[in-house]
Structure 1
Amino acid sequence: MSVASDFVSGVSAPAAAPAGAGTETAHFRIVPARYPARIFGTVFSVIIIAAVLNSIVGNPRWGWPVFAEWFVSEPVLTGLGRTILLTALGAFFGFALGGVLALARVSRSPLLVALSWTYIWIFRSIPLIVLLLILNNLGYLYEKIWLGIPYTDITFFSYSTTQLISPFTAAVLGLTLNQGAFAAEIIRGGILSVDQGQHEAAAALGLPKGRQTFRIILPQAMRSILPGAFNDIIGLAKGTSNVYILALPELFYTVQVIFHRNLEVIPLLMVATIWYLIILTVLSAIQAQIERHFARGALRTPPKSLLSRLWSRTPPPSGVVAGSDRPGAATANAGQVATWSGGDRRGAAVSIHGVSKSYGQLKVLDDVTLDIAAGSVTVILGQSGSGKSTLLRTINHLERVDEGFISIDGHFIGYRRNGATLYELKERDVLASRVDVGMVFQSFNLFPHLTVLQNLIEAPLSHGVAKAEAVSLARDLLARIGLSDKAAAYPRQLSGGQQQRIAIARALALKPKVLLFDEPTSALDPELVGEVLDVIRELARSGTTLIVVTHEIGFAREVADRVVFMEAGRIVEVGPPDKIFGHADQARVREFLAKVL
């Protein structure tokens, strides 16, 4: 039997065709696999759908002629417009109020937290109908609404409560107060979903609190907020039917008035139902587009929007160059790479004086004192849990010390000196002082919703650098690390080594005097470690003061001016690489190195 007939008849064919047999197999017919269960399921579904449609469309008791008469009638459209307006106002003011309440819930003020929690507790407990009735009858409790100075006769504004709060005003106010309580928890959940590293990266760049919230945290939180938020808005659109209690002619109330007159209950209820379906379908479509917008950077290849699928014929630019994860990919743009040598940077001296830090009963740093010369490269070694990373984080005040202090070029981090007294700085002043101290995290902590270029210019823009200058500097930095072609890519579209090099460039965008590296290669595959270490080697010749926590012993031996070994929160030994790696004084250091060398 021939090979062709084997395929046609369904008999197994040889595993591979002979070389040069392409022309002989051109006539093969591919028979797709058949799935009887899928066919049965499809047929069953069609039957059910047809039966339901027939029972609805073919049943005269549904009153479709009456439905057609009233569906686009003037009273119904007027009520529909009021429903849409109430939904829009309730959603806008409710989520604005919810945003304030959510920020209060996650603030450091116990009073604000308690006030927000109490509001949410009360207004989530009160049924909406009860709240609407209370507001509509507020004039019974308070004859006038006034604004003035309490316990004095000074009044700035006074007005009759009954005249001020109309049924429509009561409806908007009630929907807002009710919506705000639920929206607050939705927004708070989104804020809590953002990785703590994003907060720390924004703080390390010295971004003001407001910019951290609205540029970094909330845009990322939106991916978690949006599904719940739109679910709530859809509930609000249907919940506007509760305002019928105020005799306010929105859609549902209008339909009730009509069917009480003509007794055509079912057709009029279907009028309201179909309009609600249309409203919710539109809201769902809007939700999909907004979710797509805030998903930027979350996927390597984001899905196209509906409009782009219909009209766009240009393929989207890819953020990943084929082979970018291969060893040696860092040199792909070698012709563009500049160096940092040439004295364009000046390091700063770092002095650590008697620093201690505890987490509860666990003492992580114990009376640490260390002086680091300007422009030097200091590598900190030690086993996990020895306090290396915590010491690094105290230098830029990401961790507040319990005792002692740290100064950079004589300026105390986190404090203002007045004679022999140190006054702790407010958070905004600490953020401003971090301009001189850059930090590179072991898990990169790039902002995933921003492009590479946006990651690099975010901090300079927040510190008053003109956009054109910030963009120019960012592109120069990208050229220096060999990633000029990645400016428009999102972090998720890059390899680990590329992301870490971008993180280094982001830290350098503020032209810091001191650069901190917290195990910059620990999250990378061994093949990608070299990409990052090459950049740090180049930086070591630039004049910037580098402090590196790492387990890369070979790198430390090659680049470091001094090596610091830590154990149990204390500095055990400090010395040049030759001494530490060749003949350390302390037995614990020799024991550690014997295991890792």
Structure 2
Amino acid sequence: MTDATAPTRTPSVITKKTEDEALDVVPVRHYGRWAAAVTAVVALIGLAGSLAKNDNLHWDVVGDYLFAGLIFDGLVTTLWLTAAAMALGLALGTVIAVMRLSASPVLYGLSSLFVWAFRGTPLLVQIIFWGYAAALYSQIKIGIPFTEVTFVSWDTNAVLTPAVAALLALGLNEAAYASEIVRAGIQSVDPGQAEAAHSLGMRPALTMRRIVLPQAMRVIIPPMGNETINMLKMTALVSVIAAHDLMSNIQEVYAQNYQVIPLLVVASCWYLVLVSLLSIPQAWLERRYGRGAARSQSNSAVQRLFGSAGTPWARRTKKEAGR
């Protein structure tokens, strides 16, 4: 038995629906966007050609010093300063972030004072301060406070060498910024996660290490990657205390031959190479810790450049992915 009043689907409706499904939707053409892109590319080519033909750059000097031994010596110092300062800043910053989230007013006050002091003064001032700390304390002593009893002492200039002073300045300054990044990451995790861990008998320290921090990494990694890249460039400031980094060695050379611009081009080339290399693990870590989030599947810069939605290549890729 069939219901005579039930609507019937005519073949024309089925055919029309099939034709609609077969339609190829073409996005709107953004001609203004293409015109702006062409203008930008032409301007970039013109700038590159002008720099290539500029005799004042002395490309022969750039070629002579690009792979010189003193440049590689400075690169080694720059790299280990970046790695050590970021390690010190991240470790100390994590401790300070936990202290700022503590219910203890003493821990909260001390950590807030640290962040206020090191984030509120310029990094260049901090580098100079640590470099000339011997003018404040000629001896580093360990003893009983407010007495003349001293157990051991060291000469300040012997302990705080330019490299150590640079590491302390960069690491402590980074700790102030890293603490805020880590604190924001911890607060982004649902408090119910920690409560569930505590209900299972996990200690607060274990909960923070095994439950909260792994989930907070998705929020921490992107800004911390930017901090690492920024730290690499900020190492150039330690040249004011002659820490023998890349910029220090560059300055020593152009102070003798007066080829300032060519040697700055050499420094810029190496900084660009190092920053580009650091961007690769940063992108991998963002994808690694961002798994499961909708925004973690974003395309790379090359894919966004050549795979925009309006290009035939992108439409062909989407069709192949849908098969």
Q: Same fold (TM over 0.5)?
A: yes
Quote the offset at 1:251 in angstroms: 1.0
Quote the offset at 1:56 in angstroms: 2.3
2:175 maps to 1:204: no
Read off the aligned partner of 1:141 and give its amino acid letter. Answer: L
Gaps of 5+ in 1: 1-13, 22-27, 306-597
2:260 maps to 1:268: no
| 3-state secondary structure, aligned to 1:206 | coil
2: CA distance, partners of 1:176 / 1:156: 28
Map Cα deviations across residues 573-597 of structure 1 (whole Å, 9 max, x no partner). Answer: xxxxxxxxxxxxxxxxxxxxxxxxx
2:131 maps to 1:131: no
1: CA distance, partners of 2:16 / 2:297: 42
Quote the offset at 1:188 in angstroms: 1.0
Q: Return closer, same or farther for 1:227/1:301 CA change in 2, 3 Å cut-off.
A: closer
Quote the offset at 1:144 in angstroms: 2.1
2:129 maps to 1:165: no
1:199-238 correspondence to structure 2 within 5 Å: 199-238=194-233
Superposed structure 1 runs of 4+ greater than 4 Å apart:
14-19, 30-34, 151-156, 299-305
Report what 1:190 is aligned to: 185
Report what 1:181 is aligned to: 176
1: CA distance, partners of 2:116 / 2:259: 42
Q: Return closer, same or farther for 1:45/1:154 CA change in 2, 3 Å cut-off.
A: same
Report what 2:243 is aligned to: 248
Read off the aligned partner of 1:121 and give its amino acid letter. Answer: W
2:3 maps to 1:35: no
Q: Conserved in 1, the CA contact under 8 Å of 2:229 and 2:275?
A: yes
Map Cα deviations across residues 257-298 of structure 1 (whole Å, 9 max, x no partner). Answer: 222222222111111111111111122111111122212343
- 1:289 aligned to which of 284, 289, 292: 284
| 3-state secondary structure, aligned to 1:179 | helix
Report what 2:252 is aligned to: 257
Read off the aligned partner of 1:182 and give its amino acid letter. Answer: Y
| 3-state secondary structure, aligned to 1:157 | strand
Quote the offset at 1:86 in angstroms: 1.0
2: CA distance, partners of 1:178 / 1:108: 25
1: CA distance, partners of 2:153 / 2:291: 49
1:568-579 correspondence to structure 2 within 5 Å: none
Q: Return closer, same or farther for 1:52/1:209 CA change in 2, 3 Å cut-off.
A: same
Report what 2:66 is aligned to: 71
- 2:57 aligned to which of 42, 62, 70: 62
Quote the offset at 1:35 in angstroms: 2.5
Quote the offset at 1:74 in angstroms: 0.6
1:333-412 correspondence to structure 2 within 5 Å: none
Q: Conserved in 1, the CA contact under 8 Å of 2:82 and 2:231?
A: yes
Report what 1:98 is aligned to: 93
| 3-state secondary structure, aligned to 2:141 | strand
Quote the offset at 1:113 in angstroms: 0.3
1: CA distance, partners of 2:203 / 2:43: 59
Structure in which a larger fraction of residues adopt helix:
2
2: CA distance, partners of 1:87 / 1:232: 10
Report what 2:293 is aligned to: 298
Structure in which a larger fraction of residues adopt strand:
1
Report what 2:139 is aligned to: 144
Quote the offset at 1:100 in angstroms: 0.9
Read off the aligned partner of 1:238 and give its amino acid letter. Answer: K
2: CA distance, partners of 1:166 / 1:301: 44
Q: Return closer, same or farther for 1:104/1:62 CA change in 2, 3 Å cut-off.
A: same
Gaps of 5+ in 2: 1-11, 301-323
Q: Return closer, same or farther for 1:120/1:31 CA change in 2, 3 Å cut-off.
A: closer
2: CA distance, partners of 1:95 / 1:173: 13
2: CA distance, partners of 1:243 / 1:292: 33
Quote the offset at 1:116 in angstroms: 0.5
Quote the offset at 1:33 in angstroms: 6.6
Q: Return closer, same or farther for 1:139/1:46 CA change in 2, 3 Å cut-off.
A: closer
1:419-434 correspondence to structure 2 within 5 Å: none
| 3-state secondary structure, aligned to 1:194 | coil
Read off the aligned partner of 2:197 and give its amino acid letter. Answer: A
Quote the offset at 1:71 in angstroms: 0.8
2: CA distance, partners of 1:90 / 1:150: 30
TM-score scaled by length of structure 2: 0.79
Structure exhibiting the larger radius of gyration computed from Cα positions = 1
| 3-state secondary structure, aligned to 2:293 | coil
Quote the offset at 1:58 in angstroms: 3.0
- 1:111 aligned to which of 106, 112, 132: 106
RMSD: 3.1
Percent identity, aligned pairs only, is 38
Read off the aligned partner of 1:110 and give its amino acid letter. Answer: P
Q: Conserved in 1, the CA contact under 8 Å of 2:93 and 2:176?
A: yes
Read off the aligned partner of 1:100 and give its amino acid letter. Answer: V
1: CA distance, partners of 2:127 / 2:35: 52
2: CA distance, partners of 1:300 / 1:286: 18
Bigger shift: 256-265 or 237-246? 256-265
